[in-house]
């Protein structure tokens, strides 16, 4: 296909779920049921901590993932981004330190910077956060919390092993540092289900667990939650009340209905099948078009391939060149607390349909060739023993 | 009726709209239309500033109220409470000063206290904020902004006169202080429509105008907005993004549909008729049962009667006694930045049906008699020349 024929950009840059897979008919049906059952209450005030029956349903959902909780350990939030903002507002003063993974969620970095926190990075490898590096960091600084995405990490796609999870918790207990577990991708596994969440492995109440329905169900609902030990949760409820009184009522009722009637479980299974197809399409396209100039590993879940550019071009330059050729990718440097390297791009396979993904990677390959002048021989998939950044 | 027969508390304490008047059938119908028109996009991400078509509709709504604005001067928020939080996050550092009315919205006081701001109060009278006192305050301190509810004030029910509005703006310009106008009750007028908003009177971009559909339509939607000059608005959008990315998408689409199809205008007219009935019911009940022991004035709009207790009992004691007798009222001291007096209660006529309001005031009268030991002669409606607190 000639470039001039390509009108539309193929979007591999955004962490959006698939628009056409958002179950709008199921949602409309659930809304009709909720309004029939609750009448005006579906549009009325709800408690700042969330509707008690919904919190109960969320506790049930978490128990299916191995975390035994009660409703009063759960706060309903306007998405997991707000959940993290509430945590930051409760824990952070200007100048305080936070430990993050390198790379990490761009929105978290923006949020911690806005809070004027000092951000300390700990490298990832194929097993997730390097807990040896974490131990060294905790010896040097006293962070207010450790922020981690252990399950299908954004942007690196990594799955933290069970051993590392245990080790991370041991360090948290030893240094008495809370752990904020951003767990919004754990429903999106394409092989085996992931190991238990940090929250499920934590008998001591150190973990604040952030969940969301944005990726698995519908981002426009803005329904997320925090699960935390009661004394922390009670303070988070106060911060929520100060921030925006409460999460919207209808969204809570709708998600509760979907969770309680197994429609959520069935939708999640269908979503996994679709995203597995897209993941496979990207893996095949990379194999076909990117082996000479890139290093990557295929994730077992989530939305992202973290890709090292092994060609003489910066990721930022490549992203600009790729945009001109009709494919958008995210320069990885925006996911770094310290902008020390510009050799990674994040490729998302969640938003573009499978048929577009191959075309997108092909366009990216052309962009690399153009930007680098010529393709260099690459070194194949990432060496799993090497830290990522 | 014997007290033992009274099972349910009559709620005169809460600033809630009437539950049974929330138009749930109209909302469900609008949702069906929106989902039919937009499909999955109704549940997908929207821009942090809000959907452009909805911002356009809000600009149109404000132009019907005399404020000529364009869509890029409007930020959609999760209710007006979040709007105020975003303003506080943008403007306030710990130790900064804010000027408020005395009394003022309880939630604003909580928010400013959480921001560790210094709160300076300016008295109200029957014409709204005492601008002579404001001038004195601005001479003494340099606040980051003036927070005012000029139209059917919460909790005092006052309507700021046009002359006072102009005078307030003149002072804002002279002292170069932004004005935050909390305008969530202006649709709820029961005689004449209110004078133009401060925003409509402000050619210089000093006013940040907070609006909401919570009182007039449905609080559980959490749909509000800020209208402000573009340079301020752009910074508020960044704070919104840090806070929770965006307001829920479906709620924006639904309200837009109602606003554009005149269903909102018709609903607002019906709501005004209903609340006028409740306001009248409360005015008559107070006339009948409270003249010996209370002073009040009947508001021309909004939800509240601010009532001075002219009996030898504190408002807090009275509220506790009233709760035991099956009626809840709000002790006015929680609406004061400095807890200097305990002689007012806020009576809300919005939530209880008209038939319950008389019974509620009768119970309150019994509570006064019991708490005070005996009724004292009162002095009738408030002297309008006297500052309220």
pLDDT tens, position by position, for chain B (389 residues)? Answer: 344 444 589 999 999 999 999 999 999 999 999 999 999 999 999 999 999 999 999 999 999 889 999 999 999 999 999 999 999 999 999 999 999 999 999 999 999 999 999 999 999 999 999 999 999 999 999 999 999 999 999 999 999 999 999 999 999 999 999 999 999 999 999 999 999 999 999 999 999 999 999 999 999 999 999 999 999 999 999 999 999 999 999 999 999 999 999 999 999 999 999 999 999 999 999 999 999 999 999 999 999 999 999 999 999 999 999 999 999 999 999 999 987 789 999 999 999 999 999 999 999 999 999 988 744 444 444 444 444 44
Distance of CA B35 to the CA centre of its chain: 32
Question: Are the beta carbons of B22 and A16 separated by less than 8 Å?
Answer: no
CA atoms A129, A131, A135, A136: torsion sign = negative
Among A226, A190, A196, A192, smallest CA distance to A208 is for A226
Q: State residue B7's pLDDT score.
A: 59
CA A210/CA A108 separation, integer angstroms? 12
| Residues in B touching A39 (Cβ below 8 Å) | 24
Question: Are the beta carbons of A24 and B35 separated by less than 8 Å?
Answer: yes
Chain A residue with the nearest C-alpha to that of B19: A40
CA A313/CA A317 separation, integer angstroms? 7
Sequential DSSP letters for B184-248? TTTT-BSSSPPPPPTTTT-TTS-EEEEEESTTTT-GGG--EEEE--HHHHHHHHHHHHHHHSS--
Quick one: which H or E segment has residue A121? strand A118-125
φ, ψ of residue A54 to 5 degrees: the values are: -70, -40
| Residues in A touching B222 (Cβ below 8 Å) | 78, 244-248
B262 Cβ neighbours under 8 A, 6+ residues apart: none
Q: How many CA atoms lie within 13 A of B373 on its CB side?
A: 3
Give the CA radius of gyration of chain A.
Answer: 21
Q: State residue A255's pLDDT score.
A: 98
| Residues in A touching B107 (Cβ below 8 Å) | 245
Chain A residue with the nearest C-alpha to that of B26: A40
B287 Cβ neighbours under 8 A, 6+ residues apart: none
Among B10, B25, B59, smallest CA distance to B348 is for B10
Question: Are the beta carbons of B28 and A35 separated by less than 8 Å?
Answer: yes
- Residue among A40, A220, A250 whose CB faces B19 most closely: A40
Sequential DSSP letters for A316-355? HHHHHHHHHTTEE-EEGGGG-SS-----EEEEE-SSS-HH
Substitution target in B11, B21, B28 with the highest count of A β-carbons within 10 Å is B28
| Residues in A touching B82 (Cβ below 8 Å) | 243-245
User: Does ipTM top 0.85?
Assistant: yes
CA B19/CA A146 separation, integer angstroms? 43
B383 Cβ neighbours under 8 A, 6+ residues apart: none
pLDDT at residue A4 tops 60? no
Among A352, A368, A335, smallest CA distance to A123 is for A335
CA B205/CA A22 separation, integer angstroms? 41
| Residues in A touching B24 (Cβ below 8 Å) | 35, 39-40, 42-43
| Nearest-10 crossing angle of helices B106-114, B79-91 | 30
| Residues in B touching A77 (Cβ below 8 Å) | 244
pLDDT at residue A77 tops 90? yes
| Residues in B touching A22 (Cβ below 8 Å) | 40, 43-44
In angstroms, how far is the first alpha carbon of chain B from the final one? 36
Chain A residue with the nearest C-alpha to that of B88: A243
| Residue A386 pLDDT class (50, 70, 90 cuts) | very low
Question: Are the beta carbons of A43 and B35 separated by less than 8 Å?
Answer: no
Mean residue pLDDT of chain A comes to: 94
Q: State residue B194's pLDDT score.
A: 97
Q: State residue A7's pLDDT score.
A: 59
Question: Are the beta carbons of B44 and A27 separated by less than 8 Å?
Answer: no
SS3 of B351, please? coil
- pTM, two decimals, is 0.94
pLDDT tens for A107-126 read: 999 999 999 999 999 999 99
CA B69/CA B57 separation, integer angstroms? 11
- Quick one: tokens of B262? 């005149």
CA A243/CA A48 separation, integer angstroms? 10
| Residue A296 pLDDT class (50, 70, 90 cuts) | very high
B147 Cβ neighbours under 8 A, 6+ residues apart: B84, B98, B99, B100, B101, B104, B108, B112, B180, B182
Q: How far is A223 from chain B (nearest CA, A)?
A: 9
- Residue among B20, B25, B243 whose CB faces A85 most closely: B243
> How, if at all, do strands A118-125 and A179-182 pair?
unpaired
CA A87/CA A84 separation, integer angstroms? 5
Chain A / chain B CB contacts < 8 angstroms: 147
| Residue A14 pLDDT class (50, 70, 90 cuts) | very high
DSSP A8: S
Question: Are the beta carbons of A82 and B46 separated by less than 8 Å?
Answer: no
What is the share, in percent, of chain A residues with pLDDT greater than 70?
94
CA atoms A204, A243, B105, B23: torsion sign = negative
pLDDT tens for A60-69 read: 999 988 999 9
Question: Are the beta carbons of A220 and B78 separated by less than 8 Å?
Answer: no
Question: Are the beta carbons of A248 and B41 separated by less than 8 Å?
Answer: no
| Residues in A touching B243 (Cβ below 8 Å) | 82, 85, 243-244
- Residue among B41, B107, B248 whose CB faces A251 most closely: B248
Chain B residue with the nearest C-alpha to that of A81: B244
Chain A residue with the nearest C-alpha to that of B252: A220
pLDDT at residue A250 tops 90? yes
DSSP A20: G
| Residues in A touching B77 (Cβ below 8 Å) | 244
């Amino acid at each position: 296909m000639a470039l001039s024929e390509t009108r539309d950009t193929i979007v591999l840059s955004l962490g959006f779920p698939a628009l056409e897979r958002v179950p709008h008919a199921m949602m409309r049906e659930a809304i009709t049921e909720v309004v029939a059952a609750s009448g005006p209450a579906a549009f009325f005030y709800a408690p700042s901590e969330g509707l008690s029956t919904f919190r109960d349903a969320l506790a049930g959902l978490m128990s299916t993932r191995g975390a035994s909780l009660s409703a009063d350990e759960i706060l309903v939030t306007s998405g997991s981004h707000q959940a993290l903002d509430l945590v930051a507002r409760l824990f952070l003063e200007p100048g305080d330190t936070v430990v993050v993974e390198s790379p990490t969620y761009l929105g978290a970095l923006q949020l911690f910077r806005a809070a004027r926190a000092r951000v300390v990075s700990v490298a990832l490898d194929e097993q997730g956060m390097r807990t040896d590096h974490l131990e060294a960091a905790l010896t040097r600084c006293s962070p207010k919390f450790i922020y981690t995405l252990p399950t299908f990490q954004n942007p690196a796609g990594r799955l933290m092993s069970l051993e590392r999870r245990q080790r991370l918790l041991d360090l948290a207990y030893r240094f008495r540092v809370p752990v904020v577990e951003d767990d919004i991708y754990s429903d999106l596994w394409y092989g085996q289900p992931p190991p238990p969440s940090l929250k499920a492995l934590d008998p001591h109440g150190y973990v604040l667990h952030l969940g969301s329905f944005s990726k698995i169900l519908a981002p426009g609902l803005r329904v997320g939650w925090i699960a935390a030990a009661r004394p922390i949760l009670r303070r988070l409820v106060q911060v929520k009340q100060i921030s925006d009184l409460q999460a919207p009522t209808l969204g809570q009722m709708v998600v509760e209905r979907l969770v309680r009637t197994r429609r959520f479980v069935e939708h999640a299974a269908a979503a996994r099948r679709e995203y597995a197809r897209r993941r496979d399409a990207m893996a095949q396209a990379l194999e076909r078009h990117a082996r000479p100039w890139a290093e990557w590993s295929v994730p077992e879940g989530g939305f992202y391939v973290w890709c090292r550019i092994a060609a003489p071009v910066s990721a930022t330059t490549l992203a600009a060149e790729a945009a001109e050729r009709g494919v958008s990718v995210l320069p990885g440097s925006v996911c770094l607390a310290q902008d020390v390297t510009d050799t990674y791009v994040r490729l998302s396979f969640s938003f573009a349909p499978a048929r577009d993904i191959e075309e997108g990677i092909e366009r990216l390959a052309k962009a690399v060739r153009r930007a680098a002048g010529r393709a260099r021989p690459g070194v194949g998939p990432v060496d799993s023993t090497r830290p990522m950044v």
